[in-house]
Structure 1
Amino acid sequence: MPADLLAKLIHNKFVISLLTVAAILVVRYILTTLFRKSSWPRQDIRRRIHTVHNIGNLAIVFALFGIWLPELRNFALSIAAFSVAIVVALRDAVQCLVGGIYQASMRSFTIGDWVKIGDQFGEVIDNNWLSTTLLEIDPHGLGNGYTGTTLYVPNSVFFSQPVKNLNFMRRYIEHTFVIVRENKGQNPFAIKKFITDCVLQYCESFKDVAERYCKLIENRMGVELASVEPKIQFSTSELGHDVLTITLFCPRESATEIEQKVTEDFYHFWYGNAGSKADPGHPAVPQLN
């Protein structure tokens, strides 16, 4: 029985560790005592005692590391496997968390801003560390029409999708639309003055406000925007049709209405006065020869 107990103690790593540490400390104590009783200069004695202590401490560390190396290896493998499992399981959450920190540091938008994240367009109504909530706006961005759909965008998309802050263009936008008409042997520039007068009339009511808002955007963003004056351009399509392109800086909610009015005037010009407006001050539709 005592032999079995002795064998177990010999193979017990805790006992081996204690004996090893004790042996190193005893050796260190003996050497230190011998150095102190020596006739060397005091400075040399201190230096040698310091060296013995350092070597003794290093020997303890290496001895314990050698004794417990197998257990440490298994523990390290277990920790590594556990860490990999945690990272794989929480990879998406970690990406969202890092994306939230990235967005917060960039300050690309705040609650209430209109943003476009990838192909998603909406108003930010909530933003936390993991996701951003958008109240979707109509895909064309015209008017204030909310679709009633709530979008939950994971913050990880900030690393892969562009983020556009459209808050400055929330009230006024640069709206561009085209009108295509088959050429029937007539000069398309004959309509330019008439359409220009129509567009200027529709923009007259908000022209001053549009100019001030454009200046505000320029001051905030530090860039020079194009003029608020409407732009009218003519071109041709691949099929040889006449293409009229109109660009105007107007209130967002009025963009569709103005587009419809200008389109109506365009067809009144080419196809007669039937049903044309009789509003005071509206440019008269000229008669074509």
Structure 2
Amino acid sequence: MIQSLLENKSLVTVVLAVVIITVKLVVTRFIKRRAKKKKIDKRFTVNLLNNIFNFSLILIMFNIWSVEIQKFAFSIAAFVVAIVLVTREFIQCFIGFIYVVSNRPFRIGDWIQVGNYCGEVNSIDWINLTILEVNISNYQFTGKTLYMPNNQLVTTAIKNLNFLKRYAVHHFTITRDGSVNPFEFIDALKVKANSYCADFNDVAVRYNQVIENRLDINIAGPEPHIEVATSDIGDTQIIFTIFCPTERAMEIENKLTADLMNFWFSAKSYK
């Protein structure tokens, strides 16, 4: 009978808990009453005894239920591992969201590049980033909407292209054969480029300075640059660098391309 009662862990736990708590209350009450009569501050002693009794109770319970606690811990660990494996992608997305919120590499409305994708940030939540895709070669919206998981924001470099939203350092190259010397008309081509950029030159100068001050770097502009080089196979390359409003980049490129062709064929016809 006694053996069966001792094997009943629930009953033993309740009895020990009642005994320890009762002893604690009796001892602490006795100390408080005695301290009150002698007018001595025994709060430290009472607090220490309370902690000792509480720790003893927890230690005894742990020893009684150690096997069950160990099994429960293994079950919880296996359950947690299973949950982590199943929800790993969501956890990574949430970490990416925290990274963006804390570091703020971009804001809603900014132009950014993540990997090979460029676009305007439309929205972001704890799962994904929504981007309105932009063709960076002509600075036009493609009409496509990209939904990018936030975990890519942690593992992939993020480029903030926001200054390209208004003004862009536009590069383009025109390749021709070596039958004409481009230095014969390069000065006239520069005059054409300056004339196309004259109406926004003042604004371009100010915006160029703002970008340089913000990024603490020197960028090309605001005046147009034209260089002459050769390709790997010996063809002539005319390289243009124009600092201009983003929406006018393709317009100016087309005009300069037409001017170059006119100069090129005119020079060729004289030979």
Please indicate the TM-score interval, normalised by the length of the shorter structure.
0.7 to 0.9
Match of 1:239, SS?
coil
CA displacement at 1:152 relative to structure 2? 0.9
Structure 1 residues 50 and 106: alpha-carbon distance in aligned structure 2, compared to 1, 3 A threshold: closer
Deviating more after overlay: 61-70 vs 20-29:
20-29
1:239-254 alignment to 2 at 5 Å?
A: 239-254=233-248
Decide which of 263, 266, 286 is 2:260's aligned counterpart.
266
Task: Give me the identity figure in percent.
Answer: 38
Name the counterpart of 2:224: 230
1:97 to 2:87 alignment: no
Match of 1:268, SS?
helix
Name the counterpart of 2:249: 255
Name the counterpart of 2:116: 119
Q: Distance in 1 between matches of 2:174 and 2:48?
A: 92
Name the counterpart of 1:12: 8
Q: Distance in 1 between matches of 2:210 and 2:116?
A: 28
1:198 to 2:202 alignment: no
1:154 to 2:149 alignment: yes
TM-score between the two structures when normalised by the length of structure 1: 0.77
- Residue type of the alignment partner of 1:191: F
Match of 2:112, SS?
strand
Q: Distance in 2 between matches of 1:98 and 1:12?
A: 47
- Residue type of the alignment partner of 2:12: I
Name the counterpart of 1:173: 168
Give ranges in structure 2 of 5+ residues lacking alignment: 29-37
Q: Distance in 2 between matches of 1:48 and 1:229?
A: 83
Q: Distance in 2 between matches of 1:265 and 1:175?
A: 17
Name the counterpart of 1:71: 68
- Residue type of the alignment partner of 1:136: E
CA displacement at 1:12 relative to structure 2? 0.7
Name the counterpart of 1:282: none
Deviation per residue, 1:115-169 (Å, 9 max, x gap): 11221111111122221111112242x24x3222111111111111111222222
Kept in 1: contact 2:109–2:121 (CA 8 A): yes
- Residue type of the alignment partner of 1:12: N
Decide which of 121, 125, 134 is 2:131's aligned counterpart.
134
CA displacement at 1:239 relative to structure 2? 0.7
Match of 2:221, SS?
coil
TM-score between the two structures when normalised by the length of structure 2: 0.82
Name the counterpart of 2:33: none
Q: Distance in 2 between matches of 1:137 and 1:76?
A: 52
CA displacement at 1:104 relative to structure 2? 0.9
Q: Distance in 1 between matches of 2:169 and 2:163?
A: 11
Deviation per residue, 1:211-249 (Å, 9 max, x gap): 122123234444443331111111111111111111110
RMSD after superposition: 3.3
CA displacement at 1:263 relative to structure 2? 1.6
Q: Distance in 1 between matches of 2:51 and 2:113?
A: 63
- Residue type of the alignment partner of 2:11: V
Give ranges in structure 1 of 5+ residues lacking alignment: 33-41, 273-284
